[in-house]
Chain A
Amino acid sequence: MIYTVGTFLSADFDIVASASDSFDAALIAEGFRREERTGHLMVGFYHPNHPEYGFQQVSGQLFDGRSDRKRLVILPTSGGGAITLPSIEDMIADRLGQHTIASKTDDSRLQQAIWLFRLAEQMDRDYLLKRVIEEGGDPDLLPFGVARS
Protein backbone atom coordinates (compact mmCIF):
# COMPACT_ATOMS: atom_id res chain seq x y z
CA MET A 1 0.00 0.00 0.00
CA ILE A 2 2.68 2.51 1.02
CA TYR A 3 5.21 1.41 -1.59
CA THR A 4 2.63 1.95 -4.37
CA VAL A 5 0.99 5.03 -2.77
CA GLY A 6 -2.36 3.34 -2.80
CA THR A 7 -2.39 1.79 -6.27
CA PHE A 8 -2.70 -1.52 -4.51
CA LEU A 9 -4.89 -1.36 -1.44
CA SER A 10 -5.24 -4.41 0.77
CA ALA A 11 -7.65 -4.95 3.64
CA ASP A 12 -5.16 -6.93 5.70
CA PHE A 13 -2.03 -5.93 7.53
CA ASP A 14 0.54 -8.53 8.55
CA ILE A 15 2.64 -7.38 11.48
CA VAL A 16 5.83 -8.99 12.76
CA ALA A 17 6.34 -8.66 16.51
CA SER A 18 8.73 -10.62 18.67
CA ALA A 19 6.64 -10.49 21.85
CA SER A 20 3.01 -11.46 21.37
CA ASP A 21 1.82 -10.31 24.77
CA SER A 22 3.41 -6.88 24.37
CA PHE A 23 2.07 -6.61 20.85
CA ASP A 24 -1.47 -7.40 21.97
CA ALA A 25 -1.27 -4.96 24.86
CA ALA A 26 0.07 -2.19 22.63
CA LEU A 27 -2.75 -2.59 20.15
CA ILE A 28 -5.41 -2.70 22.82
CA ALA A 29 -3.91 0.44 24.40
CA GLU A 30 -4.29 2.23 21.05
CA GLY A 31 -7.97 1.34 20.78
CA PHE A 32 -7.76 -1.81 18.69
CA ARG A 33 -10.14 -4.65 19.46
CA ARG A 34 -9.67 -8.36 19.23
CA GLU A 35 -11.72 -10.21 16.69
CA GLU A 36 -13.69 -13.09 18.05
CA ARG A 37 -13.06 -16.20 16.07
CA THR A 38 -14.17 -19.72 16.48
CA GLY A 39 -12.05 -22.84 16.74
CA HIS A 40 -8.32 -22.80 16.22
CA LEU A 41 -8.10 -19.76 13.97
CA MET A 42 -5.60 -17.12 15.06
CA VAL A 43 -7.17 -13.99 16.44
CA GLY A 44 -6.74 -10.77 14.53
CA PHE A 45 -7.42 -7.18 15.51
CA TYR A 46 -9.33 -4.27 14.09
CA HIS A 47 -9.74 -0.63 14.95
CA PRO A 48 -13.32 0.63 15.28
CA ASN A 49 -12.43 3.84 13.43
CA HIS A 50 -11.19 1.80 10.46
CA PRO A 51 -13.42 -1.29 10.40
CA GLU A 52 -12.59 -2.16 6.78
CA TYR A 53 -9.09 -3.29 7.78
CA GLY A 54 -7.87 -6.33 9.68
CA PHE A 55 -4.53 -6.68 11.47
CA GLN A 56 -2.75 -9.87 12.34
CA GLN A 57 0.53 -10.79 13.92
CA VAL A 58 2.36 -13.26 11.75
CA SER A 59 4.37 -15.99 13.42
CA GLY A 60 8.13 -16.22 13.36
CA GLN A 61 10.79 -13.76 12.32
CA LEU A 62 10.53 -11.35 9.43
CA PHE A 63 10.85 -13.48 6.27
CA ASP A 64 11.93 -16.39 8.44
CA GLY A 65 15.01 -14.49 9.53
CA ARG A 66 16.43 -14.25 6.02
CA SER A 67 16.06 -10.50 5.58
CA ASP A 68 18.75 -8.05 6.62
CA ARG A 69 17.31 -6.09 9.53
CA LYS A 70 19.70 -3.24 8.87
CA ARG A 71 17.70 -2.56 5.71
CA LEU A 72 14.41 -1.98 7.48
CA VAL A 73 12.83 1.35 6.62
CA ILE A 74 11.56 3.46 9.52
CA LEU A 75 8.95 6.04 8.66
CA PRO A 76 8.26 8.54 11.44
CA THR A 77 4.74 9.91 11.19
CA SER A 78 3.42 13.37 12.01
CA GLY A 79 1.54 11.90 14.97
CA GLY A 80 4.76 11.02 16.72
CA GLY A 81 4.75 7.32 15.95
CA ALA A 82 6.61 5.39 13.30
CA ILE A 83 5.93 2.67 10.76
CA THR A 84 8.65 0.14 10.10
CA LEU A 85 8.59 -1.54 6.70
CA PRO A 86 10.70 -4.26 5.13
CA SER A 87 13.11 -3.00 2.49
CA ILE A 88 11.82 -2.72 -1.06
CA GLU A 89 14.19 -5.53 -2.06
CA ASP A 90 12.64 -7.84 0.54
CA MET A 91 9.14 -6.92 -0.57
CA ILE A 92 9.93 -7.66 -4.21
CA ALA A 93 11.59 -10.96 -3.29
CA ASP A 94 8.62 -11.98 -1.15
CA ARG A 95 6.19 -11.24 -3.98
CA LEU A 96 8.22 -13.22 -6.50
CA GLY A 97 8.52 -16.12 -4.08
CA GLN A 98 4.77 -16.15 -3.59
CA HIS A 99 4.26 -15.99 -7.34
CA THR A 100 6.23 -19.21 -7.68
CA ILE A 101 3.71 -21.14 -5.61
CA ALA A 102 0.60 -19.28 -6.76
CA SER A 103 -1.99 -20.66 -9.13
CA LYS A 104 -0.92 -20.48 -12.77
CA THR A 105 -4.01 -18.39 -13.43
CA ASP A 106 -3.11 -15.78 -10.82
CA ASP A 107 -0.08 -13.63 -11.63
CA SER A 108 -1.03 -10.86 -9.21
CA ARG A 109 2.06 -11.36 -7.04
CA LEU A 110 4.29 -11.10 -10.12
CA GLN A 111 2.53 -7.89 -11.12
CA GLN A 112 3.02 -6.56 -7.59
CA ALA A 113 6.73 -7.36 -7.77
CA ILE A 114 7.07 -5.58 -11.11
CA TRP A 115 5.24 -2.50 -9.84
CA LEU A 116 7.42 -2.36 -6.74
CA PHE A 117 10.52 -2.79 -8.87
CA ARG A 118 9.53 0.01 -11.22
CA LEU A 119 8.55 2.38 -8.42
CA ALA A 120 11.67 1.90 -6.35
CA GLU A 121 13.85 4.98 -6.46
CA GLN A 122 16.95 3.09 -5.40
CA MET A 123 17.74 -0.50 -4.64
CA ASP A 124 20.62 -2.84 -4.00
CA ARG A 125 20.42 -5.22 -6.93
CA ASP A 126 22.90 -7.70 -5.49
CA TYR A 127 20.84 -7.97 -2.32
CA LEU A 128 17.65 -8.18 -4.37
CA LEU A 129 19.02 -11.08 -6.41
CA LYS A 130 20.15 -12.90 -3.27
CA ARG A 131 16.77 -12.47 -1.62
CA VAL A 132 14.74 -13.44 -4.69
CA ILE A 133 16.66 -16.70 -4.93
CA GLU A 134 16.27 -17.31 -1.19
CA GLU A 135 12.52 -16.86 -1.49
CA GLY A 136 12.37 -19.30 -4.38
CA GLY A 137 11.49 -16.71 -6.97
CA ASP A 138 12.74 -16.28 -10.51
CA PRO A 139 14.73 -13.03 -10.85
CA ASP A 140 14.48 -13.21 -14.63
CA LEU A 141 10.82 -12.29 -14.32
CA LEU A 142 11.78 -8.77 -13.28
CA PRO A 143 12.02 -6.14 -16.00
CA PHE A 144 15.20 -4.58 -17.29
CA GLY A 145 17.30 -7.66 -16.75
CA VAL A 146 17.93 -6.76 -13.16
CA ALA A 147 19.63 -9.96 -12.21
CA ARG A 148 22.23 -12.40 -13.47
CA SER A 149 23.94 -9.70 -15.48
Chain B
Amino acid sequence: MKTMMLDDLLSQIDERKRVLGLTDTSAATEALRNKGGNRTQEKRELLRRAELRAREAGRKPIVSYY
Protein backbone atom coordinates (compact mmCIF):
# COMPACT_ATOMS: atom_id res chain seq x y z
CA MET B 1 0.00 0.00 0.00
CA LYS B 2 1.07 3.53 -0.70
CA THR B 3 1.03 6.02 2.14
CA MET B 4 1.18 9.78 1.81
CA MET B 5 -0.12 12.71 3.79
CA LEU B 6 -3.52 13.93 2.66
CA ASP B 7 -2.30 17.52 2.42
CA ASP B 8 0.62 16.44 0.23
CA LEU B 9 -1.70 14.63 -2.18
CA LEU B 10 -4.05 17.60 -2.38
CA SER B 11 -1.15 19.99 -3.02
CA GLN B 12 0.20 17.69 -5.72
CA ILE B 13 -3.14 17.55 -7.53
CA ASP B 14 -3.69 21.29 -7.14
CA GLU B 15 -0.33 21.90 -8.78
CA ARG B 16 -1.21 19.51 -11.59
CA LYS B 17 -4.46 21.42 -12.16
CA ARG B 18 -2.50 24.65 -12.31
CA VAL B 19 0.02 23.25 -14.79
CA LEU B 20 -2.73 21.85 -17.02
CA GLY B 21 -4.76 25.05 -16.77
CA LEU B 22 -7.78 23.23 -15.36
CA THR B 23 -10.11 25.54 -13.50
CA ASP B 24 -13.06 24.76 -11.29
CA THR B 25 -15.89 26.35 -13.23
CA SER B 26 -19.52 25.54 -12.58
CA ALA B 27 -19.76 24.18 -16.12
CA ALA B 28 -16.85 21.81 -15.51
CA THR B 29 -18.36 20.60 -12.27
CA GLU B 30 -21.75 20.10 -13.87
CA ALA B 31 -20.22 18.04 -16.67
CA LEU B 32 -18.83 15.68 -14.04
CA ARG B 33 -22.07 15.32 -12.14
CA ASN B 34 -23.90 12.02 -12.42
CA LYS B 35 -27.30 12.78 -13.97
CA GLY B 36 -28.87 10.02 -11.90
CA GLY B 37 -30.37 7.69 -14.47
CA ASN B 38 -28.78 4.49 -13.16
CA ARG B 39 -28.94 5.11 -9.44
CA THR B 40 -30.24 2.45 -7.11
CA GLN B 41 -33.28 3.16 -4.97
CA GLU B 42 -31.02 3.17 -1.89
CA LYS B 43 -28.74 5.77 -3.42
CA ARG B 44 -31.65 7.98 -4.46
CA GLU B 45 -32.97 7.86 -0.92
CA LEU B 46 -29.54 8.59 0.58
CA LEU B 47 -29.16 11.66 -1.63
CA ARG B 48 -32.71 12.83 -1.03
CA ARG B 49 -32.21 12.67 2.71
CA ALA B 50 -28.83 14.43 2.54
CA GLU B 51 -30.43 17.29 0.64
CA LEU B 52 -33.31 17.45 3.12
CA ARG B 53 -30.96 17.50 6.13
CA ALA B 54 -28.86 20.25 4.57
CA ARG B 55 -31.91 22.43 3.99
CA GLU B 56 -33.21 21.81 7.49
CA ALA B 57 -29.82 22.81 8.90
CA GLY B 58 -29.68 25.95 6.78
CA ARG B 59 -26.79 24.58 4.74
CA LYS B 60 -26.41 24.69 0.99
CA PRO B 61 -27.09 21.17 -0.29
CA ILE B 62 -24.57 19.43 -2.53
CA VAL B 63 -26.22 19.37 -5.94
CA SER B 64 -27.27 15.82 -6.81
CA TYR B 65 -29.59 14.31 -9.37
CA TYR B 66 -31.64 11.47 -8.02
Contacts and interface: CB of A to CB of B under 8 A. Distances in A.
A119 B16 contact: yes
A119 B22 contact: yes
B20 A118 contact: yes
Given A74-B1, A121-B12, A54 B46 contact: yes
- Interface SS majority for chain B: helix
Interface residues of B, number: 44
A74 B8 CA distance: 12
A12 B63 CA distance: 11
A73 B2 contact: yes
23 contacts: A5-B13, A6-B24, A10-B62, A10-B64, A11-B50, A11-B62, A11-B64, A44-B46, A54-B49, A56-B42, A56-B43, A70-B1, A72-B1, A73-B9, A77-B6, A101-B38, A102-B37, A103-B37, A106-B35, A109-B34, A112-B32, A118-B22, A121-B16
